Amino acid sequence: MPRSTTLLHSDVVVVGGGVAGVAAAIAAAKTGAKTTLVEAGPMFGGELLTGMCINGGLNARGQYVNGGVARELYDECAKMGGLIGPVHDFRLICYVVLDPEIVKIAIPTLLDRYGVSPLLYSFADDVVMEGNRVRGILVGSRDQRWLLTADFFIDCSGDGTVAVMAGASYELGDVNGTLQPLSIMYRMCGVENGPLLSFVRDHPENLALGESDYIRAGRTDAQLAEELYKQGEAAVFFKANGPLLQNAFRRGELFPTALIMLYPTSHARKEVCVNVTRVAENIDGTKTDQVSRVLPRLMQQVMISACFVKKNIPGFENAAISAIAPRIGIRETRRIVGEAKLTGDDARCARKREDGVAKGACHIDIHGAGQEQIRIPVGNGGSYDVPWGCLLPKNLSNVYIAGRCLSSDREGHGTGRNMGNCLGMGHAVGTAAALSVAGGLRDIRDLPVQRLRAVLKEQGAILDGVY
CA-CA distance, 274 to 12, in Å (whole number)? 37
In the three-class reduction of DSSP (H, G, I as helix; E, B as strand; rest coil), residue 423 is classed as helix
Q: Tell me: the pLDDT tens digits for 184-241? A: 999 999 999 999 999 999 999 999 999 999 999 999 999 999 999 999 999 999 999 9
CA-CA distance, 448 to 439, in Å (whole number)? 11
**Nearest by Cα to 184 from 333, 329, 306:** 329
Q: Tell me: the pLDDT tens digits for 313-357? A: 999 999 999 999 999 999 999 999 999 999 999 999 999 999 999
CB atoms within 10 A of CB 418: 26
Cβ atoms of residues 124 and 138 within 8 Å: yes
CA-CA distance, 391 to 303, in Å (whole number)? 39
pTM equals 0.97
**Nearest by Cα to 281 from 404, 202, 177:** 177
CB atoms within 10 A of CB 336: 26
Binned at pLDDT 50, 70 and 90, residue 85 comes out as: confident
CB atoms within 10 A of CB 5: 13
Q: Tell me: the pLDDT tens digits for 142-163? A: 889 999 999 999 999 999 999 9
Please name the residue ranges forming H helices in 258-326: 288-292, 295-312
> How would you classify the pairing of strands 170-172 and 334-336?
antiparallel
CA-CA distance, 87 to 265, in Å (whole number)? 11
CA-CA distance, 441 to 422, in Å (whole number)? 25
CA-CA distance, 193 to 233, in Å (whole number)? 7
Q: Tell me: the pLDDT tens digits for 351-386? A: 999 999 999 999 999 999 999 999 999 999 999 999
Backbone phi, then psi, for 348, in 5-degree steps?
-55, -40
Mean pLDDT for 118-124 is 97
Provide the mean pLDDT of the chain.
Answer: 97
- Distance from CA of residue 221 to its chain's centroid? 29
In the three-class reduction of DSSP (H, G, I as helix; E, B as strand; rest coil), residue 129 is classed as strand
Q: Residue 385 has what pLDDT?
A: 98
CA-CA distance, 20 to 424, in Å (whole number)? 8
Which segments of the chain belong to CATH 3.50.50.60?
A: 5-87+98-175+332-361+379-458
CA-CA distance, 270 to 234, in Å (whole number)? 10
CA-CA distance, 47 to 187, in Å (whole number)? 13
Q: Residue 4 has what pLDDT?
A: 82
Backbone phi, then psi, for 160, in 5-degree steps?
65, 35
Q: Tell me: the pLDDT tens digits for 260-313? A: 999 999 999 999 999 999 999 999 999 999 999 999 999 999 999 999 999 999
Q: Residue 2 has what pLDDT?
A: 56
Percent of the chain whose pLDDT exceeds 90: 98
| pLDDT reading at 88 higher than 50 | yes
**Nearest by Cα to 342 from 261, 424, 453, 271:** 424
DSSP bridge partners of 9: 149
Mean pLDDT for 441-452 is 98
Q: Which residues contact 462 (CB under 8 A, 6 or more apart)?
A: 64, 65, 66, 67, 68, 359
* HSE-CB of 447 using CA atoms within 13 angstroms: 32
With b meaning 16 or more CB within 10 Å and e meaning fewer, what string describes 443-455? Answer: ebeebebeebbeb
CA-CA distance, 183 to 316, in Å (whole number)? 22
> Could you tell me the strand order of the sheet in which 399-401 lies?
117-119, 35-38, 12-15, 152-155, 399-401
Q: Residue 99 has what pLDDT?
A: 98
CA-CA distance, 173 to 108, in Å (whole number)? 34
Element (H, E) at 346: helix 344-348
Binned at pLDDT 50, 70 and 90, residue 1 comes out as: very low
Please name the residue ranges forming H helices in 54-120: 69-79, 100-113
Q: Residue 48 has what pLDDT?
A: 97
- Distance from CA of residue 165 to its chain's centroid? 23
Mean pLDDT for 160-188 is 97
Expressed in angstroms, the distance from the first to the final Cα of the chain is 59
Q: Residue 298 has what pLDDT?
A: 98
How distant, in Å, are the alpha carbons of 26, 120, 150, 361 from that of 281? 36, 31, 39, 29
User: Please, is 464 exposed, middle or buried when counting C-beta atoms within 10 Å of its C-beta (0-12, 13-18, 19+)?
Assistant: exposed
The size of the chain, in residues, is 467
Residue 185, amino acid = M
The architecture that CATH gives domain 5-87+98-175+332-361+379-458 is 3-Layer(bba) Sandwich (3.50)
In the three-class reduction of DSSP (H, G, I as helix; E, B as strand; rest coil), residue 432 is classed as helix
DSSP bridge partners of 35: 12
Q: Residue 437 has what pLDDT?
A: 98
